[in-house]
Amino acid sequence: MADEPNKMRAEIRARQAEDGKKAMAEYEASAAATRAKTEKLRALRLAKEAAEAAAPKPPAKVKAKSTSKSAKSKKKAPEGKLADWLDGQVDSGRNT
């Protein structure tokens, strides 16, 4: 009778060891796949950067100065601070 619990424990330990081996194999396979994908993507990125460096760059676009009304009618940001404006509002009798 004392043998049966020992046999069950041994079987459980054997199954756990087998499951552990399977899990470790899956983990290692996943890590290897990730490393392979990373190497592939790095090679593609380096090839792209090398191609971009070798290609002639187009000339930069030069913006012409505009003297139209739209350029003259742009509003400038008001000078001064918000605190100064608020103080002016209070001094003029505005309730906040």
Question: pLDDT tens, 2-29?
Answer: 688 899 999 999 999 999 999 999 999 9
Where do we find the tokens 């008001």? Answer: 78
Residue written as token pair 């890590």: 31
**Which value, to the nearest 10 degrees, does the dihedral of the CA atoms of residues 39, 42, 44, 46 take?**
-140
The CA dihedral of 18, 23, 27, 32, to the nearest 10 degrees, is: 50
- Return the higher-pLDDT residue of 60 and 10: 10
Grade residue 1 by pLDDT with cuts at 50, 70 and 90.
low
Question: For residue 84, what pLDDT band results from cuts at 50, 70 and 90?
Answer: confident
Exposed e or buried b per residue across 32-53, where buried means at least 16 C-beta atoms within 10 angstroms of its C-beta: eeeeeeeeeeeeeeeeeeeeee
